[in-house]
């Protein structure tokens, strides 16, 4: 992300609190989202995995006036228990969750998907890229008594073949389905998916990106929106 970009300031998220997972450096999509949330007044808890990542991310977090950072390994239940306990102890409740976590081995992101995908590689990609969202959605919903929003990142490779995207495309397709089922389970049974296109933006191959969004409302009025966002870039749209 260019250092000269300043997200528009406002109070759209004033008084809102939430978790951002997946910031690795200043070019991370999660970081672009976090900057905009902060500029709109949100309080953010950032998760990280390992000391090396903490050293890279902490200066970014501090640059937007935040200091709430929590270690979290999405493949370890005890680590996730501790992370969400820390959020609950500090805030009690949250309003949003940003999930920007995915992984596939480099050997599986080249050549043939059929030839290069191993059983362990497939399990790992689905665990980190898909189950982690399902798990965090469950945990986040438990501290969203008044409803909230959850988003994760998807890509065109979820519905079309993209060279070398391979098992990650399969994982993203599963992730999109998970957003719909999560909205159904956290809201009413008539939760729905809404494919949309953003104006004046295109995928690298010329096709417009999509936003897969599912929204549900609990019988007692609690509302939950789960969305899979196109993982392309972090700057806001500029209307011409």
Enumerate the active-site residues: 155, 165
Diameter over CA atoms, the chain: 51
Where do the H-state alpha helices sit in 69-187? 77-91, 113-116, 119-126, 132-141, 166-186
**98 pairs with which residues across the strands?**
20, 151
Distance (Å, whole) CA 7 – CA 236: 8
Torsion of the alpha carbons at 38, 41, 45 and 51, rounded to the nearest 10: 30
- Give the 3-state secondary structure of residue 227: strand
Tokens of 57: 């991310």
**CA dist., res. 173 & res. 204, Å (int):** 19
């Amino acid at each position: 992300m260019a250092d000269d970009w300043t997200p528009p300031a406002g109070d759209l998220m004033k008084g809102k609190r939430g978790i951002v997972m997946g910031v690795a450096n200043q070019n991370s999509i999660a970081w672009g989202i976090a900057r905009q949330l902060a500029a709109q007044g949100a309080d953010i808890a950032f998760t990280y995995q390992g000391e090396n990542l903490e050293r890279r991310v902490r200066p970014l977090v501090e640059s937007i006036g935040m200091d709430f950072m929590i270690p979290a390994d999405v493949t370890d239940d005890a680590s996730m228990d501790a992370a969400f306990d820390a959020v609950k102890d500090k805030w009690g409740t949250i309003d949003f969750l940003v999930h920007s976590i995915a992984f596939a081995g480099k050997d599986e992101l080249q050549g043939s998907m059929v030839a290069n995908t191993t059983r362990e590689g497939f399990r790992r990609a689905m665990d980190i890229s898909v189950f982690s969202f399902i798990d965090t959605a469950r945990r986040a919903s438990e501290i969203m008594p008044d409803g909230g929003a959850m988003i994760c990142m998807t890509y065109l490779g979820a519905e079309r073949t993209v060279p070398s995207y391979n098992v990650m495309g399969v994982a993203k397709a599963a992730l999109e389905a998970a957003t719909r089922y999560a909205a159904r389970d956290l809201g009413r049974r008539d939760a729905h998916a809404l494919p949309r296109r953003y104006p004046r933006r295109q995928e690298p191959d010329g096709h417009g990106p999509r936003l897969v969004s599912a929204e549900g409302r609990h019988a007692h009025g609690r509302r939950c929106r789960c969305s899979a966002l196109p993982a392309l870039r972090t700057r806001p749209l500029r209307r011409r």
